[in-house]
Structure 1
Amino acid sequence: MSNKSTRKADRPNVSATVHPQRGSSRPEPQGVAPDTDPGTRRRVFSQNFFRSASDAGDFTEQLTYHEDARCVVEIGPGSGRITTSLSRMGHPVVAVEIDEHWHDKVKALGLPNVEVQCGDFLEWEPHDDPFVAIGNLPFGTGTDILRRCLEFSPYSLLEAVFLMQQEYVSKRVGRYGGNSFNAQWWPWYTFHEGRAFPRQAFQPVPRADTSTLFVIPREEWEVDWRERRTYQDFVAAVYDTGHADIGTALRKAARGSTSHWLRRAGVPAGALVKQLGPQDWVELYMARNPPPGARTHGGRTQGARGRGGRKRR
């Protein structure tokens, strides 16, 4: 793990909680009874853990601990191999485990600097403390967990390092072209691929190889974070039309003529939706309703940029 940390004494205590179900001290995983056999629980939660401490260490070394981070949030510690590696690095760790069985196992390890919480990460609520995230994410719920992390905002999530199915990582880094998920998050985050691990490195052995997905907030944004939902609704509406070219898709989504819109954005009507880059989507979004005083120059909307913000460091 690269270290950009301050002295431990300078870091306030972590304040983050998982809210349990009413009337229970712990949230019970949906559809899984407390006495369910381990094999069934592994299948339900897609539990595939590192076989060796060495591989777990190689994975955790990819994470950068930022000086502003108050803690490392590990999603789904499972058997605790990744948690143990993180603990040895000396940074405060909050490990959120949905399976009560593995929560108790990891907690019993008594690892220093580690707080183990039992609950669903999708219901986990950090306070205002910025953090870095890491985890061997379940194949079945990986997208939901990733989206949950991104929704915390680039102010809170300083970096994330996730182990995910290799094909899924390829989609996130754009190897197969553009897609709705990436386009919706491009103004604020970048996705990069890290170290790959063969499926034989895990127990039980999963059906596919895995790779590391890096999530890095952008230093500057060209769409204000407060406009996130409006921007994402716009991108989703265009993709949901199912049309390949942006001219037809935009016209269908807007239910009217969009030639002037495309001219302001400087995007050819025949361009394929999946081939549009981050700046194209930003220009299209801004050109739909240019800010006061905006003017066009060379097909691009001037005055649209600079409406974003700089990520807090």
Structure 2
Amino acid sequence: MTALVATTPGPIVELGAGGGALTRALARLDRPLTAVELDPRRAAALRRELGGTATVVQADVLRWPLPREPFVLVGNVPFHLTTAILRRILDADRWRSAILLTQWEVARRRCGVGGASMLTVQSAPWYRFTLDRRVPARAFRPVPSVDGGVFRIDRRPEPLARTPERRAYRAWVGDVFQGPGRGLVQVLGRTSRPITAGAARRMLRDRGIAADTPPSRLTTDDWLELWGLARGRA
């Protein structure tokens, strides 16, 4: 994870420093480092140990105000807070890259391996998700019941969709993932921005997509093509 962070520029913010295993390695990069930890005892211990090499903040990562200048996010994300932390990150501005460790299956889904999650699809026009590696459970202390996975998120230099449309796009993707209907054509016709059956069939045929393809299997380009149709109907 430190090697991945080293490929990025700027200050570093670590979410959930814990006992400092990652914090110590990040401090050796000799870049401005802020480590956020909820537990006051752990935060105090890290502050004493690291001294002037890192700024240790005792705070809840879901509420702590993120820096205003560009920065890099890194963290061994608590498994039970993965979705909440990811939503917080993806709604935030100014950070350039995020290097994260989560459950292996979560990492795979976030990066579209075996099908993308709804959260990833909602964010893909503005971010790139890249799977790095699997981390065996035995590498953790205490040992969890599942393996971990390292992946990175990079903000796209040029968004694939207009940023003012982000909220509408996310809501529409949610409609498609959770909407009623048998097959994509029916589902796409029953969203808040419906696509006519004829237009949906033509688009699916032109892109070689079977009508029974689940939303999680569509590519980012597929979603953007559909969004163009949906936006035209609004």
Flag whether TM exceeds 0.5 (same fold). Answer: yes
**After the TM superposition, which of the residue ranges 84-93 and 192-201 deviates more from structure 2?**
192-201
Shift of 1:245: 2.2
Shift of 1:61: 1.5
Q: Does residue 80 of the first structure (1) align with residue 17 of the second (2)?
A: no
> Alignment partner for residue 83 of structure 2, among 125, 143, 150?
143
Shift of 1:204: 1.1
**After the TM superposition, which of the residue ranges 221-230 and 254-263 deviates more from structure 2?**
254-263
- The verdict on how the C-alpha distance between 1:145 and 1:231 changes in structure 2, with shifts beyond 3 A counting, is same
> Alignment partner for residue 210 of structure 1, among 136, 148, 157?
148
Give secondary structure in 2 for the equivalent of 1:128.
Answer: coil
- The verdict on how the C-alpha distance between 1:142 and 1:168 changes in structure 2, with shifts beyond 3 A counting, is same
CA contact (8 A) 2:47 2:56 kept: yes
Shift of 1:196: 2.5
Give secondary structure in 2 for the equivalent of 1:112.
Answer: helix
- The verdict on how the C-alpha distance between 1:261 and 1:289 changes in structure 2, with shifts beyond 3 A counting, is farther
State the match for 1:281 in structure 2.
Answer: 223
- The verdict on how the C-alpha distance between 1:142 and 1:257 changes in structure 2, with shifts beyond 3 A counting, is closer
Measure the CA separation in 2 of the matches of 1:201 and 1:257.
48
CA contact (8 A) 2:194 2:230 kept: no
State the match for 2:211 in structure 1.
Answer: 270
Structure 1 segment 30-69 matched on structure 2, within 5 A: 59-67=1-9, 69=10
- The verdict on how the C-alpha distance between 1:163 and 1:223 changes in structure 2, with shifts beyond 3 A counting, is same
Q: Give the unaligned 5+ runs of structure 1.
A: 1-58, 292-313
Q: Does residue 184 of the first structure (1) align with residue 126 of the second (2)?
A: no
Q: Give the unaligned 5+ runs of structure 2.
A: none
Give secondary structure in 2 for the equivalent of 1:221.
Answer: coil
Q: Does residue 219 of the first structure (1) align with residue 157 of the second (2)?
A: yes
> Alignment partner for residue 252 of structure 1, among 187, 190, 215?
190
Give secondary structure in 1 for the equivalent of 2:228.
Answer: helix
- The verdict on how the C-alpha distance between 1:244 and 1:212 changes in structure 2, with shifts beyond 3 A counting, is farther
Shift of 1:77: 0.7
Query: Which 4+ stretches in 1 moved above 4 angstroms?
Result: 254-257
Shift of 1:127: 4.0
- The verdict on how the C-alpha distance between 1:204 and 1:244 changes in structure 2, with shifts beyond 3 A counting, is farther
Shift of 1:256: 6.3
Measure the CA separation in 1 of the matches of 2:16 and 2:182.
38
CA contact (8 A) 2:186 2:197 kept: no
Give secondary structure in 1 for the equivalent of 2:143.
Answer: coil
What per-residue deviation string (whole Å, max 9, x for no partner) do you get for residues 146-196 of structure 1? Answer: 22111113xx12111111111111111222223312210110112111132
Q: Give the aligned CA root-mean-square deviation in angstroms.
A: 2.2
State the match for 1:39 in structure 2.
Answer: none
The code of the aligned residue for 1:173 comes to C
State the match for 1:121 in structure 2.
Answer: 61
Give secondary structure in 1 for the equivalent of 2:231.
Answer: coil
> Alignment partner for residue 175 of structure 1, among 99, 113, 118?
113
Shift of 1:243: 4.0
TM-score in terms of structure 2 length: 0.88
Shift of 1:270: 1.5
Shift of 1:267: 2.9
- The verdict on how the C-alpha distance between 1:82 and 1:222 changes in structure 2, with shifts beyond 3 A counting, is same
What per-residue deviation string (whole Å, max 9, x for no partner) do you get for residues 30-89 of structure 1? Answer: xxxxxxxxxxxxxxxxxxxxxxxxxxxxx312224534x3x1000111111211111111
TM-score in terms of structure 1 length: 0.67
Shift of 1:103: 0.9
State the match for 1:100 in structure 2.
Answer: 40
Measure the CA separation in 2 of the matches of 1:127 and 1:89.
19
CA contact (8 A) 1:72 1:92 kept: yes
Measure the CA separation in 2 of the matches of 1:89 and 1:118.
22
> Alignment partner for residue 236 of structure 1, among 138, 152, 174?
174
- The verdict on how the C-alpha distance between 1:192 and 1:243 changes in structure 2, with shifts beyond 3 A counting, is farther
- Name the structure with the higher helix share: 2
State the match for 1:309 in structure 2.
Answer: none
Give secondary structure in 2 for the equivalent of 1:122.
Answer: coil
State the match for 1:133 in structure 2.
Answer: 73
Percent identity for Structure 1 against Structure 2: 31
State the match for 1:8 in structure 2.
Answer: none
Return the index of the structure with the highest Cα Rg.
1
Measure the CA separation in 2 of the matches of 1:131 and 1:256.
39
Shift of 1:261: 4.3
